Structure 1
Amino acid sequence: MDGTVIALLAATLVVAAVDWWAVATDRRRVEYVAKPLTMVVLIAAALALDPVDGTARTWFVVALVLSLAGDVFLMLPRDLFVPGLASFLLGHVAYIVGLWILGTSRSGLAAGVAIIVVALPLLGQRILQAVRAGDEPELTVPVSAYMLVISVMVISAGASGSAVALAGAVSFYVSDALIAWTRFIQPLAWGRVAVMVTYHAAQIALVASLL
């Protein structure tokens, strides 16, 4: 790993920390800058590193750009939940393609499947029940589709054989579960901060899995 990549990853962490502080202290103007900037710097890091596979890196960059779009949609004052959901869903599809290019591991695949087998009954079922019974039942289908795709992404991360990728995918799953829990079930103390910390940790880990 050369100095440029190290500097960009360090800068990503610094800007991400600023975003966490902005979210925790409700400084929206700072958040509007720091949240997208975190992803911009991370994209630069992904482009600068020497990946184990160039094609996988291309798909990861596509996923990061789509995630950036999703960040912007979810950050804006207007309720753009569905466009944000769609952006992240497509981003997960890009990650899935890239992760399978990285390689395949039977034991890793089994680990990914095991995680989802546990997570879906504990979190997924409860969230979908809340969506159907709540004020936005029309979101049941898009939320179900998203849940399916991110579950496949976690399994794909396990199948890649990279423990770092799997950790990143699981962190992404947790972040999205926190968003859904807050929106459809009940707000959580420090929930928005936890969402951003787990989200940024996920994206950084997924990029690091390219090394």
Structure 2
Amino acid sequence: MLTGVGTRILAGVGVAGAVGFLLVLDTGRPELRLVTKALPMLCLLLWQWPPRERYAWWVFAGLGLSLSGDVLLEGGPGMFLPGLGAFLLAHVSYIAAYLTVTRGLQAVRALPFLLLAMSASVLLWPSLGAMALPVTAYVVVICTMSWRATALLGASGLSHFEQRAAFAGALLFAASDGLLAIKLFVRPLPGASYAIMLLYWAAQLSIALSARGPRTESVSAAHPLAS
């Protein structure tokens, strides 16, 4: 993995790309939006290379799928569904990463996200039309990803910092997607795109941070109902 100067260069390029995208978010040319939007995720992927074990490989796959989603969503309204699909698969990859650490059921921790999925579906359903099924599936998957990130807390296999990073990333991702869903399907939210992107990048950075160090494979995974 990159260290020192290489990490600082990637961080600088990623931040420059993020700032550039925010500057052209509403008025920029499509090709400039595409390049600047892709840079932060591309830098995270390079920073993660090479992944060291299963957890890091699944996170790497999620970052790559997220980059694909970013690119697809810049292709116009007709590319929304493929972009949504790429991000859904990214969340599935993060779920798979978290399951390499623990498969403990953690039913109590699942309850808030079950309620969130139900509430979001009820709120969004009347406005979704033909997008009802794919958006509802996406809501279920991201809430599952958040639940599995919560299940990491206190599990063996990740350091306390890495557990908190994965958990924070899941919550930030859910907040970003929640704002986006309200903006797209419920009512316009002027200026929300800036918050959506900042939350999104913070989420991806947090998840990437959880995969930077070597670790032992899951101990609690040996018992599917471990607490």
TM-score range, shorter chain: 0.7 to 0.9
Q: Superposed, which structure 2 residues align to 1:1-211 within 5 Å?
A: 2-3=3-4, 4-23=6-25, 25-28=26-29, 29-47=31-49, 54-103=53-102, 110-111=108-109, 113-117=110-114, 119-120=116-117, 122-131=119-128, 137-161=129-153, 162-211=163-212
Contact 2:120/2:139 (8 A) holds in 1: no
Tell me the alpha carbon deviations over residues 115-171 of structure 1, each in whole angstroms, 9 at most, x when there is no partner. Answer: 42453355442122322xxxxx12111111111111110011111221111111111
Q: How many residues align?
A: 200
Amino acid at match of 1:197: L
Displacement of 1:16 after TM fit?
1.7
Counterpart Cα distance in 2 of 1:36 and 1:126: 31
Amino acid at match of 1:191: A
SS at match of 1:188: coil
Displacement of 1:78 after TM fit?
4.2
Higher helix share: 1
Displacement of 1:106 after TM fit?
7.7
Structure 2 unaligned blocks of 5 or more: 154-162, 213-227
Taking structure 1 as reference, are residues 18 and 104 closer, same or farther at Cα in structure 2, changes over 3 Å only? farther
Contact 1:55/1:98 (8 A) holds in 2: yes
Contact 1:104/1:160 (8 A) holds in 2: no
Contact 1:100/1:159 (8 A) holds in 2: no
Taking structure 1 as reference, are residues 100 and 69 closer, same or farther at Cα in structure 2, changes over 3 Å only? same
Task: Using structure 1 for the length normalisation, give the TM-score.
Answer: 0.84
Structure 1 unaligned blocks of 5 or more: 132-136
- CA RMSD in angstroms, aligned pairs only: 2.3
Taking structure 1 as reference, are residues 190 and 90 closer, same or farther at Cα in structure 2, changes over 3 Å only? same
Amino acid at match of 2:96: V
Percent of residue pairs identical: 29
Contact 2:114/2:143 (8 A) holds in 1: no
Counterpart Cα distance in 1 of 2:121 and 2:195: 18
Counterpart Cα distance in 2 of 1:183 and 1:110: 31
Taking structure 1 as reference, are residues 30 and 185 closer, same or farther at Cα in structure 2, changes over 3 Å only? same
Contact 1:130/1:184 (8 A) holds in 2: yes
Contact 2:13/2:39 (8 A) holds in 1: no
Structure 2 residue aligned with 1:134: none
Amino acid at match of 1:80: M
Tell me the alpha carbon deviations over residues 96-124 of structure 1, each in whole angstroms, 9 at most, x when there is no partner. Answer: 001222346787x744x254245335544
Contact 1:20/1:197 (8 A) holds in 2: no
Amino acid at match of 1:160: L
SS at match of 2:174: helix
